[in-house]
Structure 1
């Protein structure tokens, strides 16, 4: 059954052309049909009017009744009229008016067999041939009737010519419409064609190209804008994926490089320690000590890598009230016990006017992880600044803003997105009076395995994962860790967390 149905074109252009041409053809055909019917009705009305206006002469009824002049009487009637008479009993008489070489109408021998109503015209066939007649029954004197007839040859010939003319005109019109519709559709789909060519070039690798037609007043233009937006997002996602893959490759390479150093040392000292019969006791003890140190360093590096992987995958933090002032005081006390080469003090966070008071500052989070951030920042100041450099730890509350903290602004670097402007924030600052960092080093400070001084010894400079871990923990608490530095002006690391409101619920996006 499906094979008998016409196959619908799959091309949008062909469907539009076929649909438009079909609709136009139907419209032209319907208009021609209406004109044909109206013209035919008008011609028939004209014939009917001629029949209604013609009245047989009165003496003809009596002549027909007397049957004194049988047969037809040519030359009596105008044009092609024919008149047939019926007597009082309803039977047709032998006399009729009008004569022609055309066969007469096929009418009955009695009024009852005519099938006509008085004053209402009808159409009958010819006695022979395909001709048709229009007939009208009218009453005469003395109960007689007459049938007046006119041939429809002229009407039929006219309608036949009109019909063939309409058919020819329809064919020409359809052909012209097909050509016109094809041109109009081609012109209308030209933006889609340009989009197609542009998409082919984008698919070939030219990812920076965009669709040219983006007029919001047209459907194709709106489609172009949506596709361009989608292409921007896809290209951005592709760039992010490439950057992520590059970071992953660099991370794996850096991790391998970091692990290779202690592994090489362990392997070398282990081989040295195996030759016990050739080594003095003190050299064996030194080899064992170095093996233990490198194993410990490698264990710490592996622990950091596992922690980073856990923070990236699905961090899990406690949600407890944390007194940041007590936390910072404990961290300062611990840092003082590790040595006196860097004097550390604890003070309040200054407001924009330079005033501030030391008071309890609370946030919601994991106290152990937050303490880990502060300890890491204090450890960095001892490792990366000269001996005698003063370190200042400040704790306070403020609101996120361009002149305080939590937003992106010139000179401030962070690995986390900015916080909502005006949000109440609890802040812990660790600032040193050291040499500071250059803009390039500050830009990469939170990258994994990054060292501002590549030649620094790993034994004293760490693996370059501390700030990455601290930034990940801060972001996991709905805050961020930011760096404010400049050459010769020291470094200020600022831990910004959503402040704990009076009802005890965190005001930030804490995961």
Structure 2
């Protein structure tokens, strides 16, 4: 089942990262708007009330310093109408409440009438809310009062004759102004929140697009498309780009590991098939001769001798094959070799002496004068030379010239084994280090060159061949003079199952 569909539904749901980012941003902005609105309204209210308080305080100071008395106020009221003395019927006629009003108390604390107009209902309410007028005037404090359902601020002033004037100024304009500012702030805040939500959704979609591509890539890889990679985005942030590069690198390693595993499995299957085939041939021959002997069909002493010689020959062949398989198995396990100082020149000269003893008539040229010291495993180097010369003996005639060379260059040693035999085609040369590969299905087990490559790789060296049809074969082994970390042979080899028992020759009867 593909994972792409559920992944997309998750991105569009309320649990998606995009939705959560939008909600967090909107919530933070809403808190900021509420806090800013509260602070601004409190500041506005303080400023407007301070203006009202300043006006009332200035009027109180002016009244106290003017030296006016109650009689003078009554006389002035009789001459003209005073602001604020609005009849109680004014509100009923739809007129707005007065911005300010005042009342006057005589020395006995009773409400005094000014001129022909009787006190209005608002003035009576102010007188009632004042309480003790003299005490209120002498305190000089400001008081919140409600007159006719409207909010006022009142202050008292003591006149020269002992009477008291209480003045009140309306704060309805302050409340209405704050209410209008609150509505404006809420409307503007709602617009900002909506705009922020839309912009956050768009920005989150663009910023999270690389993550969505990663989900789609992972889903495609889960479906079997191992070559799928996360595409690059020009506007991606640094962290997302680093994640994309790391994910692509991991996917490349996964693809490589998967391909390596498939190749190793294929090589292991081929190895088992080849090993079974190579072991079946000598086993079949041995079994055939034993059946002939068991049925009494080998009556002639010469036939029995020839049969037992063939049995011993096939047993030696199987024993040699098993020994080489064990060598390859140990090399694949990368054992810790004991390096010591080895005179490679002496090893080459000993191998040349062995070849002369085995094939005295073969032309041989050796260029390995003096001592060439390297840090290596001596038995491994002797095995390399023995396999290379055995390959020469197997695939060339006895009159084919052979050349052994040893050169030193820049901290490495070059060992050359060259012959002037028939050579190899390019396709065969590319597989010369494959296990059980034999050019033209010739003689030998096909494991000698694989062992050469494994031993050289365990020494941290390299081995290469130069050949062409009719131009002979040259094997060049490069070894470091000091121990180096071993490099695995290419391509990677599977580890063969361990072989723990070798076949011994069958004794003659």
Does the TM-score normalized on the shorter chain lie above 0.5? yes
Q: CA deviation at 1:257?
A: 1.2
Note if contact 1:61-1:144 (Cα within 8 Å) is conserved in structure 2: no
- Residue correspondence of structure 1 range 410-489 to structure 2 within 5 A: 424-454=411-441, 456=442, 461-489=443-471
- Greater shift, 174-183 or 134-143, is seen at 134-143
**Kept in 1: contact 2:210–2:233 (CA 8 A):** no
| Cα distance, 1:187–1:498 mapped onto 2, change above 3 Å | closer
Pair 117,289 (structure 1): closer, same or farther in 2 beyond 3 Å? farther
Q: 1:396 is matched with which residue?
A: 407
Which residue of structure 2 aligns with residue 4 of structure 1? none
Query: In the TM superposition, what whole-angstrom CA distance separates every residue of 1:317-336 from its partner, at most 9, and x where no partner exists?
Result: 22221001111111100111
CA distance in 2, matches of 1:123, 1:253: 108
Across the aligned residues of Structure 1 and Structure 2, the Cα RMSD in angstroms comes to 3.3
The structure where helix makes up a greater share of residues is 2
1:24 aligns to 2:25 (yes or no): no
3-state SS in 2 of match to 1:393: strand
- Matched with 1:354 is none
Contact 1:485 1:491 in 2 (8 A): yes
List gaps (5 residues or longer) in structure 1: 1-7, 349-357, 400-423, 500-505
Once the 2 structures are TM-superposed, how far is the Cα of residue 194 of structure 1 from its aligned partner? 3.2
Residue 330 in structure 1 maps to residue 350 in structure 2? yes
User: Which residue matches 2:55?
Assistant: 50
User: Within 5 Å, which residues of 2 pair with 1:246-257?
Assistant: 246-257=266-277
1:189 is aligned, of 193, 208, 226, to: 208
Are 2:103 and 2:126, in contact at CA under 8 Å, matched by a contact in 1? no
Inter-CA distance 101–384: structure 2 relative to 1 (3 Å threshold)? farther
1:109 to 126, 129, 132: 132
Give 1:380 shift.
Answer: 0.9
Structure 1 residue 463: Cα displacement: 0.7
Going from structure 1 to structure 2, the CA distance change for 1:101 and 1:439 (only over 3 Å counts) comes to farther
**Structure 1 residues 73, 392: CA separation in 2 closer, same or farther (over 3 Å shift)?**
farther
What's the CA shift for 1:158?
2.7
Matching residue of 1:497? 479
Matching of residue 236 in structure 1 with residue 256 in structure 2: yes
Task: Provide the secondary structure at the position in 1 that maps to 2:126.
Answer: coil
When residues 385 and 140 of structure 1 are mapped into structure 2, their CA distance, relative to the original with a 3 A threshold, is farther
Deviation at 1:84, TM superposition (A): 5.0
* Residue 467 (structure 1) shift: 1.0
Structure 2 residue matching 1:442: 3-state secondary structure = helix
Compute the displacement of 1:273 (Å): 1.4
What is the number of residues matched between the two proteins? 452
| 1:37 to partner: Cα distance | 2.4
1:202-281 correspondence to structure 2 within 5 Å: 202-215=221-234, 218-219=237-238, 220-276=240-296, 279-281=299-301
Q: 1:63 maps to what in 2?
A: 70
Q: Cα–Cα, structure 1 residues 156 and 339, in superposed 2: closer, same or farther, change >3 Å?
A: same
TM-score by length of 1: 0.79
CA distance in structure 2 between the aligned counterparts of 1:38 and 1:284, rounded to whole angstroms: 123
CA–CA distance in structure 1, aligned partners of residues 418 and 273 of structure 2: 32
Instruction: List aligned pairs for 1:347-366, cutoff 5 A.
Output: 347-348=367-368, 358-366=369-377
In structure 2, stretches of 5+ residues that fail to align are 1-12, 85-97, 488-509
* Counterpart mapping for 1:287-306 below 5 A: 287-306=307-326
1:509 partnered with 2:491: no
Change (3 A) 1:203 1:117: farther
Does the alignment pair 1:38 with 2:55?
no
